[in-house]
Amino acid sequence: MRGVTWIVAHNKILGFYRKKSWISIFAIILVCFIFPVLLGIKWYSKQDCTVNCSKEWIDGLYGFSFFVEYILLSLLAVYAFQEEKQSKSLLSILSTSISRIELLLGKMLGCLVIHCFFIAVLFVTHILICLKFQLPITFNFYISEFIDNIFYGVMIILILVSLSLVFSTPVSLSLFIIFYWITILFQLIDNDVHIILTSFKKILYYVTPLQVEKSLFEMSVPSFSNDELTKYILARIGSLMYSIVIFMMCLVLTKNSDLSLKD
Amino acid sequence: MTNPIIQIQDLHKSYSRGFFRKSSPVLNNICLEINSGEAWALIGPNGAGKTTMLHCLLGFLKPDSGFVKIFNKIPTVTATKKRIGFQSEIFYTYDFLTAHEVLTFYGSLSGIKKIELSKRISKYLKLLNLFDVKDVKVKNFSKGMLQRLGIANSLLKEPDIIIWDEPCSGLDPEGRLLITTISHQLISEGKTLLFSSHVLSEVESICNHVCLIKNGKILLNGNIDEIKSHSPHKSLEDIYMGHVK
C-alpha cells in the first residue's frame, strides 16, 4: 500500500513540476512576497523608522504570503480529482489494481510534499531577508508559524482532496469553506450574545476543536512553556481529528458512488 | 457445464440528469454470462448503453439493481482487478508523461515488479509499434498512437479478461489489422475478450459470440454461427440492421 500511495504522490508532484502554469503561480507568490518586503524596508528606512517598523512589515507580509499560498494549495487540492475527472484519466487509474483509499492518500501526499516545499522556500526567503537587512529573528514566531502552516496545510488537503473526489468543484469549495471556517466563526461569537447562539456554540464547543482553538486564538505566539505547549498540541490534534472525520465521511460516500462519469 | 467467469444478472442502471435529477434508464434487465476463452463483441447503435455496461462490469458505476460478478467476486476487489485489462474508447492519460512513463505508472499501480515491468513495457511497446517513440510525451501523440498505447496498457497486467471499448476507433487500416492480429493471438492463448465495436466486419473476424444492445436492452446474444443459422439473413450486418431498424 505504501509503495502505490507514493507512486500516485510522485505522479502528482511530477505533474506540478512539468505544468508551467503551477510553477508560474508559485513564482508570482514569491514575487508578491519579496517585492513588497524590499519596497517596505526601503520606505521605512527613508522615514527614519525604527527596526521594529521594518520587522512588523516583513512579518506581516510573511503571514500574508502564506495566505496566498493557502489559495494555491486549495486549488491544487481541489484539482487533484477534478482534473482527473475532466480529462477522464480517472478511468485509466481506476482500471489498475489500486484501491480508492490508496488513490486518495497518494493525492494527499503529493499535495503535502508540494505544500511543504513552498513553506520551506518562503521560510528560508524570509530568514534570508532578515539576515540581509540585519532585522531581529524571533524564532518562537517562525517555528510556530512554520508548524502552523504545515498543520493547516494538512487540514486543507485532508478536507478538500476528499471532498473533491465526491463532489464537483463549486460544491467542494463551498463545503470546504463551511467546514474549515466554522471554528473561526464561532470564536467570534461572544458567550452572552444570545441564548440560542450560546447554546448552539456550546454544542459545537464539544464537537469541534473550538475549545482548544480558542486558547490559541488568545495566544498568537506560544512561549512553549509546559502548559501552553500542551494547549498548542491539543489544538493541533483537535483540528486534525476534525479533518479526519470529514475525510472518513467522504470515504464512506465514495464507496457507494459512481466515479467515472462525474466532473 | 463450465462456470462462467463473467456473470451479469438483472442489471439495471439509470442516470440522474438535469436540475431536478430526473432519472433516465440506460440499462434494463441485462443478463449475460461469459465463459473463459470466449471472445464477445458488444454491438449496438450510439447511446445503446454499451459503455455503461462495460463500466458497470468494471465497477466504475454502481448498478441500481442486479449484480455483476467476475470470477465469482465483485469487480472492485483488488484480486479481481488484477486479472482484468481495460482500455476505454480514448486512452485518457497524463499528457505530461512519456509513453514509457505512462506504462511504468499504470504498471506500478497494478503491482507489477520493477524488473518484470520493464520487460513487459518493452514487449508491448514493440508489439504495438511504439518502441521508437517511448520517450516522446503523450501530448505529442496522434489519436491512433494514443489508442495503441492504451491497448499496450490494457495488456500490461497480462490479464485473463481483456475489456476494450471500441479499440479500433481512430486507428488507420494498419493499426486495425494489428489489433485484429493481437486479438487472435490473445484468444489462442485462452484469454477472454470482450469489446464494443461499430465495425461488424471486425467483430465477425475476431469474435465467436455477439451481444446486440439497443436502448439498454439485449436484443440478441449468443454464438455468431448459431445466430446466423437461425436467421434468414446471411451476414451479421443484415442481422444487425434487421434488429435495430
pLDDT band at A222 (very low <50, low <70, confident <90, very high): very low
Radius of gyration of chain A (CA): 21
Q: Is the pLDDT of residue A136 over 90?
A: no
Within a 10 A sphere around the Cβ of B102, how many other Cβ atoms?
25
CA distance A29 to B110: 38
Q: Is the pLDDT of residue A232 over 70?
A: no
Residue the block writes with cell 434488429: B243
Mean pLDDT value of segment B162-170: 90
Question: What angle (nearest 5°) sits at the alpha carbon of residue A239, between those of residues A208 and A197?
Answer: 25
- Out of A97, A256, A260, the one facing B110 most closely (by C-beta) is A97
Report the pLDDT value the prediction gives residue A226, as an integer from 0 to 100. 59
Distance, in angstroms, between A21 CA and closest chain B CA? 13
Chain A residues within an 8 Å CB radius of B90: 88
CA distance A198 to A241: 24
Partner-chain contact A97 B111, CB within 8 Å: yes
Nearest CA in chain A to B114: A3
Residue the block writes with cell 510525451: B137
Specify the higher pLDDT residue, B39 or A26: B39
Chain B residues within an 8 Å CB radius of A11: 94, 97, 105
Q: Which grid cell sits at A238?
A: 483537535
Nearest CA in chain A to B113: A3
Report the pLDDT value the prediction gives residue B192, as an integer from 0 to 100. 94
Report the pLDDT value the prediction gives residue A165, as an integer from 0 to 100. 83
Report the pLDDT value the prediction gives residue B1, as an integer from 0 to 100. 54
ipTM over 0.90: no
Distance, in angstroms, between B93 CA and closest chain A CA? 5
Mean pLDDT value of segment B191-200: 91
Residue type, B3: N
Query: What strand order describes the sheet that includes B22-34?
Result: B22-34, B6-17, B65-70
Q: How far is CA A58 from CA A40, A69, A101, in A?
A: 8, 16, 41
Chain B residues within an 8 Å CB radius of A93: 106, 109
Q: At what angle do helices A139-166 and A226-255 cross, to 10 degrees?
A: 10
Partner-chain contact B92 A89, CB within 8 Å: yes
Partner-chain contact A7 B108, CB within 8 Å: yes
Mean pLDDT value of segment B186-193: 93
Q: How far is CA A207 from CA A157, A179, A218, B221, in A?
A: 21, 12, 20, 57
The dihedral over CA atoms of B128, B134, B139, B142, expressed in degrees to the nearest 10, equals: -30
Q: Is the pLDDT of residue A181 over 80?
A: no
Mean pLDDT value of segment B16-33: 83
Partner-chain contact A18 B96, CB within 8 Å: yes
Q: Is the pLDDT of residue B123 over 90?
A: yes
B77-106 pLDDT, tens digit each: 888 888 999 998 888 899 899 999 999 999
- Out of A18, A91, A257, the one facing B62 most closely (by C-beta) is A257
Q: Which grid cell sits at A16?
A: 506540478
Q: Is the pLDDT of residue B169 over 50?
A: yes
- Out of B62, B88, B97, the one facing A91 most closely (by C-beta) is B88
Pairs across A and B, CB distance < 8 A: 74
CA distance B245 to B240: 8
Q: Is the pLDDT of residue A37 over 70?
A: yes
Beta bridge partners of B127: none
Residue the block writes with cell 490508496: A102
| Residue from A79, A95, A252 to probe the interface with B (highest B Cβ count within 10 Å) | A95
Report the 3 state secondary structure along chain B. Answer: CCCCCEEEEEEEEEEEECCCCEEEEEEEEEEEEECCCCEEEEECCCCCCHHHHHHHHHCCCCCCEEEEEECCECCCCHHHHCCEEEECCCCCCCCCCEHHHHHHHHHHHCCCCHHHHHHHHHHHHHHCCCHHHCCCEHHHCCHHHHHHHHHHHHHCCCCCEEEEECCCCCCCHHHHHHHHHHHHHHHHCCCEEEEECCCHHHHHHHCCEEEEEECCEEEEEEEHHHHHHCCCCCCHHHHHHHHHC
- Out of B55, B81, B157, the one facing A260 most closely (by C-beta) is B55
Q: Is the pLDDT of residue B180 over 90?
A: yes
Partner-chain contact B106 A93, CB within 8 Å: yes
CA distance B90 to B141: 12
Report the pLDDT value the prediction gives residue A51, as an integer from 0 to 100. 60
pLDDT band at A185 (very low <50, low <70, confident <90, very high): low
The mean pLDDT value of chain A amounts to 72
Nearest CA in chain B to A96: B110
pLDDT band at A213 (very low <50, low <70, confident <90, very high): very low
Report the pLDDT value the prediction gives residue A224, as an integer from 0 to 100. 52
Q: Report the first-to-last Cα separation within chain B, whole angstroms.
A: 36
Question: What angle (nearest 5°) sits at the alpha carbon of residue B208, between those of residues B204 and B211?
Answer: 85
Report the pLDDT value the prediction gives residue A261, as an integer from 0 to 100. 47
Q: In this structure, are strands B6-17 and B209-214 parallel, antiparallel, or unpaired?
A: unpaired
List A residues 65-94 in contact with B (Cβ-Cβ < 8 A).
87-94
Contact assessment for residue B8 and residue B68, using Cβ atoms and an 8 Å cutoff: yes
Report the pLDDT value the prediction gives residue A62, as an integer from 0 to 100. 74
Tell me the percentage of chain B whose pLDDT exceeds 90. Answer: 56
Judged by a CB distance cut-off of 8 A, whether residue A252 touches chain B is no
A148-174 pLDDT, tens digit each: 778 778 888 888 888 888 888 888 888
Report the pLDDT value the prediction gives residue A46, as an integer from 0 to 100. 65
Q: How far is CA A4 from CA A62, A68, A193, B103, B153, in A?
A: 36, 31, 51, 14, 17
CA distance A255 to A125: 43
Partner-chain contact A261 B78, CB within 8 Å: no
- Out of B86, B97, B105, the one facing A95 most closely (by C-beta) is B86
Specify the higher pLDDT residue, A238 or A6: A6
Partner-chain contact A258 B84, CB within 8 Å: no
Mapped onto helix, strand or coil, the DSSP state of residue A163 is helix
Mean pLDDT value of segment B137-157: 93
Partner-chain contact A7 B93, CB within 8 Å: no
B196-224 pLDDT, tens digit each: 998 888 888 899 999 999 988 999 888 98
* Least confident segment among A46-55, A133-142, A190-199: A190-199
pLDDT band at B126 (very low <50, low <70, confident <90, very high): very high
pLDDT band at A214 (very low <50, low <70, confident <90, very high): very low
Tell me the percentage of chain A whose pLDDT exceeds 70. Answer: 65
Beta bridge partners of B85: B162
Report the pLDDT value the prediction gives residue A15, as an integer from 0 to 100. 85
